[in-house]
């Protein structure tokens, strides 16, 4: 991981005990200009503490303090002389290890819980006497730790905010990092700036200059290969390389799986050439992918086949073109490292495998010290800001997320070239209509899905069976939860008519009104 090097920049360190929302803590604070680093919760402070660390946050955890292998930080954190914020589990083990009692809560609280404030504390500055918090805990404090006082409690009488002045500790039973907690971002900002006195010194624009000089120093006269996926992250790395290095050293490879959106491959080529790309290799591997996918309907099987094929095409093409030494650049983000278990402690549940981190080519390159991951300290929204600063067009930087397996997980049932074409066309009509109506940027992710059923309709005087397209549009901050986008009925009606008029195979269009949870954003 690339740490943010300048010694003089203030930072808050988050100790990660495996909570799935841990990286949101970092993101919320960085959104307001204070630099944050997340480190595995049990790491020795000697590895991360310096005088630039102004405060420490202890994250939540799926564990209970009473579990035999519960993750604990080094006891030394309590004598480093900087304020500490404990969130949920972080509050509970500080209580448990400092003379208090934590027990299974008689009222397990999951979801919204009103909190009443009894006492003032700088962490609650600017918040009224009551607010709605988001809880997710089985354990709660029965008895306060030594020297502890209750600042706020829930309606069930559970301590919601406590302070231990002798340790410069403040603890929250709820999760301020999730958007459902009212004023949650303000609480985190209060901790960073009011309690810890950290200065707002973090900006992506400043970081850009540093990244470019780091890239130049690291690469020297070597060649760099970057695999472009069509997504925002690899496009931003490409733009960064093209800004930092002579174009002849940069080699950009794009594997067209045949499962991309309409016009995507051409659009990417155009954007990269506009930034000065000279060595651009567009590999048409649609036959390889579609042949292996023939007859496969199971979504996980589709994902596995696509992942394997991607690795094998990548290997074949790279060997063919790059026999000598080169660096491999990747668009790995901070969240990718955290989610794949690289950024968290041994207790962090592995959420999803990420091919950036796991593929054999990458592993071999990593062992040889030849992987370049310039975005590894950044969050997605910061990557978008960096992309704009580097001159990428808004059509690339603001593009909705697209899953690695592409249209294959949006064609329910077996994938064929014909079904890809039908879906590609429907998706393009839908997305263009959103752009024309000025709605594209209001929506976090929108796409069409081709269902594995046929439905009856009328064509002239006779009955006809046609394909069914489902439209999806959600608003979200990070894809972890999502709400349905509320279209005006006329807009949906217009899109449905355009799709059925222009694609003869499609007889019916439906709109998916499910939130996440319980549904996921993708259908497979
Ligand atoms: P779900 O469907 O899990 O999606 O609510 C959350 C976000 O992740 C994307 N997604 C994927 N991205 N490979 C990816 O690279 C995948 O297999 C995959 N599945 C879902 C999805 O598009 C959404 O943005």
Question: Is the beta carbon of 391 within 6 A of some atom in ligand 1?
Answer: no
> According to the model, what pLDDT value does residue 107 have?
63
CB 7 within 8 A of CB 48: no
Question: Is the beta carbon of 163 within 6 A of some atom in ligand 1?
Answer: no
Question: Is the beta carbon of 408 within 6 A of some atom in ligand 1?
Answer: no
Question: Is the beta carbon of 116 within 6 A of some atom in ligand 1?
Answer: no
- The second-level CATH assignment, the architecture, of 416-511 is 2-Layer Sandwich (3.30)
Looking at every residue in the chain, the average pLDDT score rounds to 90
Residues with a known catalytic role: 88, 175, 177
> According to the model, what pLDDT value does residue 477 have?
76
> According to the model, what pLDDT value does residue 2 have?
41
Q: Check pLDDT > 70 for residue 106.
A: no
- Residue 205 phi/psi, 5-degree rounding, is -65, -40
Helices (H) and strands (E) in the chain, counts: 15, 18
> According to the model, what pLDDT value does residue 169 have?
98
Question: Is the beta carbon of 304 within 6 A of some atom in ligand 1?
Answer: no
Centre of ligand 1 from the C-alpha of residue 403, in Å: 5
**Where along the chain do the CATH 3.40.50.620 domains lie?**
204-397
Kindly report the CATH number that applies to the domain delimited by 11-195: 3.40.50.880
Atom of ligand 1 minimally distant from the CA of 482: 5
Centre of ligand 1 from the C-alpha of residue 52, in Å: 36
Task: Indicate the helix (H) or strand (E) that contains 241.
Answer: helix 232-244
> According to the model, what pLDDT value does residue 347 have?
40
Residue located nearest, by CA, to atom 11 of ligand 1: 403
Confidence of residue 352 (pLDDT cuts 50, 70, 90): very low
DSSP 18: S
- Residue whose pair of structure tokens reads 């069914």 in the numeric block: 468
> According to the model, what pLDDT value does residue 269 have?
85
Contacts by residues 361-368 (CB-CB < 8 Å, ≥ 24 positions apart): 361/311, 361/314, 361/315, 361/318, 361/328, 362/328, 362/330, 365/327, 365/328
Confidence of residue 323 (pLDDT cuts 50, 70, 90): confident
Confidence of residue 161 (pLDDT cuts 50, 70, 90): very high
> According to the model, what pLDDT value does residue 460 have?
77
Centre of ligand 1 from the C-alpha of residue 522, in Å: 6
| More reliable by pLDDT, 188 or 354 | 188
Lowest mean pLDDT among 27-41, 78-92, 433-447, 456-470: 456-470
Centre of ligand 1 from the C-alpha of residue 293, in Å: 19
Share of the chain above pLDDT 70, in %: 94
Count other C-beta atoms under 10 Å from residue 18's C-beta: 21
**Where along the chain do the CATH 3.30.300.10 domains lie?**
416-511
> According to the model, what pLDDT value does residue 334 have?
77
Q: Check pLDDT > 80 for residue 344.
A: no
pLDDT in tens, 184-211: 999 999 999 999 999 999 998 888 998 9
Q: Which residues of 99-136 are buried (b: 16+ CB within 10 A; e: fewer)?
A: ebebbebeeebeeebebebeeebebbeebeeebebbbb
- Residue 169 pairs in a beta bridge with 84, 164
Give CATH superfamily name and number for 204-397: HUPs (3.40.50.620)
Residue 223, class by beta-carbon neighbours within 10 Å (0-12 exposed, 13-18 middle, 19+ buried)? Answer: middle
Atom of ligand 1 minimally distant from the CA of 354: 15
> According to the model, what pLDDT value does residue 230 have?
82
pLDDT in tens, 391-401: 888 888 999 98
pLDDT in tens, 498-519: 999 999 999 999 999 999 888 9
CB 48 within 8 A of CB 73: no
> According to the model, what pLDDT value does residue 103 have?
92
Question: Is the beta carbon of 299 within 6 A of some atom in ligand 1?
Answer: no
* The model's pTM: 0.76
Question: Is the beta carbon of 307 within 6 A of some atom in ligand 1?
Answer: no
Residue located nearest, by CA, to atom 24 of ligand 1: 401
Average pLDDT over residues 273-281: 92
Centre of ligand 1 from the C-alpha of residue 435, in Å: 22
Overall size of the chain counted in residues: 524
């Amino acid at each position: 991981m690339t740490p943010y090097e300048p010694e003089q920049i203030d930072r808050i360190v988050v100790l990660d005990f495996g909570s799935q929302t841990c990286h949101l803590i970092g993101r919320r604070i960085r959104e307001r200009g204070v630099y944050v680093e997340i480190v595995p919760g049990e790491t020795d402070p000697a590895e991360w503490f310096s005088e630039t660390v102004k405060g420490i946050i202890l994250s939540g955890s799926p564990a209970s303090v009473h579990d035999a292998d519960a993750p604990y930080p080094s006891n030394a954190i309590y004598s480093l002389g900087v304020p500490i914020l404990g969130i949920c589990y972080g509050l509970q083990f500080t209580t448990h290890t400092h003379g208090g009692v934590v027990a299974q809560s008689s009222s397990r609280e999951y979801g919204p819980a009103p909190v009443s404030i009894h006492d003032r504390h700088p962490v609650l500055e600017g918040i009224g006497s009551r607010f709605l918090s988001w809880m997710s805990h089985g354990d709660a404090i029965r008895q306060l730790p030594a020297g502890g006082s209750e600042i706020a409690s829930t309606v069930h009488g559970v301590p919601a905010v406590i302070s231990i002045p002798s340790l410069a500790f403040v603890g929250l039973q709820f999760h301020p990092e999730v958007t459902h907690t009212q004023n949650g971002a303000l609480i985190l900002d209060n901790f960073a700036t009011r309690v810890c006195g950290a200065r707002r010194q973090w900006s992506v624009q400043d970081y850009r200059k540093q990244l470019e000089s780091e890239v130049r120093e690291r690469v020297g006269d070597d060649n760099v290969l970057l695999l472009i996926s069509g997504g925002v992250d690899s496009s931003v790395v490409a733009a960064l390389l093209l800004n930092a290095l002579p174009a002849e050293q940069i080699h950009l490879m794009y594997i067209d799986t045949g499962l991309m959106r309409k016009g995507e491959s051409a659009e990417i080529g155009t954007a990269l050439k506009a930034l000065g790309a000279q060595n651009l290799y567009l590999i048409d591997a649609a036959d390889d992918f579609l042949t292996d996918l023939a007859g496969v309907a199971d979504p996980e099987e589709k994902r596995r086949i696509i992942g394997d094929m991607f690795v094998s095409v990548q290997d074949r093409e790279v060997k063919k073109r790059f026999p000598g030494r080169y660096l491999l650049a990747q668009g790995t983000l901070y969240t990718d490292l955290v989610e794949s278990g690289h950024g968290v402690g041994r207790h962090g549940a592995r959420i999803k495998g990420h091919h950036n981190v796991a593929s054999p080519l990458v592993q071999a390159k990593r062992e040889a010290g030849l992987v370049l991951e310039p975005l590894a300290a950044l969050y997605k929204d910061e990557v978008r800001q960096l992309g704009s600063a580097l001159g990428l067009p808004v059509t690339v930087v603001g593009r909705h997320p697209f899953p690695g397996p592409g249209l294959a997980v949006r064609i329910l049932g077996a994938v064929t070239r014909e079904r890809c074409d039908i879906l590609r066309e429907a998706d393009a009509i839908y997305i263009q209509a959103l752009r024309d109506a000025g709605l594209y940027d209001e929506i976090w992710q929108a796409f069409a899905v081709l269902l594995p059923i046929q439905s009856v309709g009328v064509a002239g005087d006779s009955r006809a069976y046609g394909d069914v397209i489902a439209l999806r549009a959600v608003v979200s901050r990070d894809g972890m939860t999502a709400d349905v986008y509320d279209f005006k009925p006329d807009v949906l009606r217009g899109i449905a008519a355009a799709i059925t008029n222009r694609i003869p195979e499609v007889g019916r269009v439906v709109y998916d009104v499910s939130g996440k949870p319980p549904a996921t954003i993708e259908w497979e």
